[in-house]
Amino acid sequence: MCPRKPFEPPRFFRRSLRPAFVRASGRAGFTLIEALVALAVIAVCLAAIGSLVASNSRSVRQVEQRLTLVSALRKIEAALPDRGHLTEELSGDMGEAGFLIGSTPFPDPSPPPSDKTAPAWTPQKIVIKVRSESGATIEVETLRLVPSETK
């Protein structure tokens, strides 16, 4: 009887039985191209993450500025002078924000009453502009009823 040879897989199977990281030359590792592609993918991912972080911090800063302005605006509105003492223009500083208050008569589109009596109140348009030290501004328009002048 002839001696039996150990089983050898066909030639086309031999390459697939090796681990993926072992090259045909028998060396293990990655090629330069594979390493560069991996580095490029990592760089793109890091750039995207950096962009998200930067836009998030800008948004947080804008929200903080807006909240500061609204807080200053509320303080200014609470400290507005009485209806009778509101002049045409008033400006000043409150805390870290400067303000400008403009007051103009509001045009009344309704026809005058037939009995020729003047209304007790006249609407007045109030515009409040607040500007923070950083340059951010907010503007609010509102109406106030002012006692009519009696003649």
* 50-96: pLDDT as tens digits: 999 999 999 998 898 888 888 888 888 787 766 556 667 888 887 77
- Is 64 a domain residue? yes
- Is 42 a domain residue? yes
* 25-43: pLDDT as tens digits: 666 778 899 999 999 999 9
pLDDT band at 18 (very low <50, low <70, confident <90, very high): low
Into how many domains does the chain fold? 1
Of all residues in the chain, the percent with pLDDT exceeding 70 is 72
- Is 38 a domain residue? yes
Region 136-145: mean pLDDT is: 86
Range of the domain at 69: 32-108+121-147
Q: How far apart (Å, rounded) are the C-alpha atoms in residues 122 and 110? A: 12
Region 100-127: mean pLDDT is: 76
- Is 2 a domain residue? no
- Is 24 a domain residue? no
How high is the mean pLDDT of the chain?
Answer: 79
- Is 16 a domain residue? no
- Is 82 a domain residue? yes
- Is 15 a domain residue? no
Q: Which helix (H) or strand (E) holds 14?
A: helix 11-17
Q: Which helix (H) or strand (E) holds 36?
A: helix 32-78
Residue with tokens 């400067």: 98
Q: How far apart (Å, rounded) are the C-alpha atoms in residues 89 and 149? A: 19
Q: Report the pLDDT value the prediction gives residue 60, as an integer from 0 to 100.
A: 92
